[in-house]
Chains A and B, each alone.
Chain A
């Protein structure tokens, strides 16, 4: 009997309307940036996708000034009901262009088309729809009768969910009456720049949204620019700390959404097959490039062997490869640099005595790929239990009692998310009130909704995005 080979089903890359070069979006226009141009690479093939002109210090200044002007003259004074119309229009345009955006995101980021198409893009549109609804109801959000916007928001987003993080930042900022200067990540600037086109299509007044591609230095300049009233950053804890130092002593507001090392706690009475799916989704979704990834599996000792057997079997069915193929479950690591970090941390796990298991799936010769990997016999003292790996690497630890599970789950400098798997409702509530994490999922993992606030504890940052609470970060309350 021949093996059941699925047919390749690649999405056409032509849909992305890829252009040879992209430029910064400032004051409603695409302009040549004065910075050193950068090349953005398809991580699945290592080929250069496009050249991107970046922003210089002068460009940042121009953009902040344009944002200030728009805030004072058009966007700030505009009634919320009018702002809502623009946001609804943007949301609908995103839906109309979702296939193009999904393919472009997959080319630039390396994530499977199944995820960019079925997960990222619907959520991006949902965030604009949701916040459009708030724009004319801010007086009823519980922040007083007439909460005021802050002004110009400088926003810096990471490469793991380029367009989704843009939506998380821009939608609430605009809904509350702020204007925006946004810096997308160095390795994934393309969809953000196409979003500039969407702003034009929506007829958004010039200066309300500005997109400035560039590297870390561009971000640093944006943070220290005196014309910026608020900084919102999603990214690594290391950079978050730098930003906090930079902002300290200034009147700037700050929200940070940083790294994580989430515990996914599986009790012996859990629905094991679905827990296995939840673990897989928790750590291999988006190649593990998820700040709230369930990268630490805490399994009750009485079921750990059974759970690991099921888990290894399930992981070995995951298909790794061409992100544009609809059958692909795990795509490419975003950059060579990131792949290096993942390898180094995985090697440290082996060196410190954890047992390494790697999925036997074939790995393409070209591109940045890392086969799904599980470490068992991991202890809290090992690097792979403490440091964020940001890749498809799962560390498996065990516990014996609920108290031990809570203690181990909370024993991390981070606190972004956690998962609980048990059929016992009372235990879910007991655990959820004790876990120090911004989001606690029960019998599921990595579910997002614009109405649910998202954010961290401790070194995972502060401030919330999404929901009514998320508005607070952009209002003077």
Chain B
């Protein structure tokens, strides 16, 4: 079950269940106190004026504008795509978001709304958010998304299998989904809130990278805690270490609970200092968020106008 593109040492790690376990448990541990202290210290960097404006525009361009409600309708998705195309109609120089993220059955509506924009169409598949279904159903879910035109697939891992230590099963499933994705980019949702320990986060990150995930993503947004700074630090370290080992660039996507510009900037600082400047691009870093965009737009206006404008100056979609 080894992936053909990996360097020998890493390919060997994926030979069977036992070697996968040995490899994952041989990764350096993560010290909770240390990683949380570092995350807190980096969060105090001062970003103002020109650097803030740059950070805001960069953050906007990294947003996966998301709606994942049971009550989602075609109308809601159309409104969201309109917002993605022109986040701030009063200010045409505002960057477009990276992608719109919807359930598989609504991908067609998103494709329609985003025609000709180059904005990505992401879809959560694989029995999102719990991932509790048969392989067949999960792959059918992926097929629906991809056939409807999704360019990015956000899958959830089987946390049950991971916590049971059946790493091989998780690995195989990610590979199968990756194969089903075709040209679409695969983001692997680890649901770190359910993995609980940083050691697990690091192991799950490596597992997803070994299996060919293009992105590792923190959360579905349906479990608390969702994205946190220290968890994102651990994942950024994983992609950096992956780059050192293989020369390949993989991405990170924190999702859920990032609502303010201030928070988003803290993540950008972490990207900058933990992974490196190279990762400061929508190809390698995304925010999974629904309400973050409006705060970014308000703060963007504040930076340009020199005064605050109210929430009614930006669209509520």
Residues of A with Cβ closer than 8 Å to B? 1-9, 114, 269-274, 277-278, 309, 313, 317, 326-327, 423, 443-444
Contacts and interface: CB of A to CB of B under 8 A. Distances in A.
Nearest to B244: A309
A7 B49 CA distance: 7
B51 A4 contact: yes
B54 A4 contact: yes
A326 B281 contact: no
B112 to A, nearest CB: 31
A459 B247 CA distance: 48
Contact of A327 (B29, B38, B45, B54): B45
Contact of B46 (A1, A9, A309): A9
B51 A6 contact: yes
B117 interface: no
Nearest to A442: B31
Given A2-B54, A4-B55, A444 B34 contact: yes
Interface of B: 28-31, 33-35, 37-38, 44-52, 54-55, 234, 237, 244, 268-269, 272-273, 276-277, 280-281
Contacts of A309: 244
Contacts of A272: 28
Contacts of A278: 34
A309 B50 CA distance: 32
Nearest to B198: A271
Contacts of A114: 44
A349 B254 CA distance: 44
A7 B30 contact: no
Contacts of A327: 45-46
Main secondary structure, interface of A, reads: loop
A443 B280 contact: no
Contacts of B273: 317
Given A1-B281, A4-B268, A6-B51, A326 B29 contact: no
B48 A1 contact: no
Given A5-B50, A7-B46, A443 B33 contact: yes
A327 B51 CA distance: 13
A46 to B, nearest CB: 25
| 3 smallest beta-carbon distances between A and B, as pairs | A274-B34, A9-B46, A7-B48
A329 B34 CA distance: 17
B105 to A, nearest CB: 36
A274 B47 contact: no
B29 A271 contact: yes
B280 A277 contact: no
29 contacts: A1-B280, A1-B281, A2-B54, A3-B277, A4-B51, A4-B54, A4-B277, A5-B50, A5-B51, A6-B45, A6-B46, A7-B46, A7-B51, A269-B28, A270-B29, A271-B29, A273-B28, A273-B237, A274-B30, A274-B35, A274-B38, A277-B34, A277-B37, A277-B38, A278-B34, A309-B244, A317-B273, A326-B44, A326-B46
Nearest to B281: A1
A304 B55 CA distance: 36
Contacts of B272: 4
Given A1-B280, A7-B49, A277-B34, 19 more contacts: A4-B51, A4-B268, A4-B272, A4-B277, A4-B280, A5-B51, A6-B51, A7-B48, A8-B46, A269-B29, A270-B28, A271-B29, A271-B31, A271-B34, A273-B28, A273-B237, A274-B38, A443-B31, A444-B34
A317 to B, nearest CB: 5
A254 to B, nearest CB: 37
A139 B34 CA distance: 39
Contacts of A273: 28, 30, 34-35, 234, 237
Contacts of B269: 4
A269 B276 CA distance: 25
A192 to B, nearest CB: 28
Which residue among A272, A309, A326 has the maximum number of chain B CB atoms within 10 Å of its CB?
A272
A9 B48 contact: yes
A143 B271 CA distance: 54
A273 B51 CA distance: 28
B215 to A, nearest CB: 19
A269 B199 CA distance: 13
A3 B55 CA distance: 10
Nearest to A309: B244
B33 to A, nearest CB: 7
Which residue among A8, A9, A274, A309 has the maximum number of chain B CB atoms within 10 Å of its CB?
A274
Contacts of B280: 1, 4
B305 to A, nearest CB: 19
Contacts of A271: 28-31, 34
A330 to B, nearest CB: 14
A443 B31 CA distance: 8
Contacts of A443: 31, 33-34
A7 B28 CA distance: 35
B198 to A, nearest CB: 9
Nearest to A268: B28
B284 to A, nearest CB: 11
A450 B49 CA distance: 40
A1 B95 CA distance: 14
A327 to B, nearest CB: 5
A360 to B, nearest CB: 13
Contacts of B30: 271, 273-274
A8 B46 CA distance: 7
Which residue among A271, A309, A317, A327 has the maximum number of chain B CB atoms within 10 Å of its CB?
A271
Contact of B29 (A7, A277, A423): A423
Contacts of A326: 44, 46
B91 to A, nearest CB: 20
B237 A6 contact: no
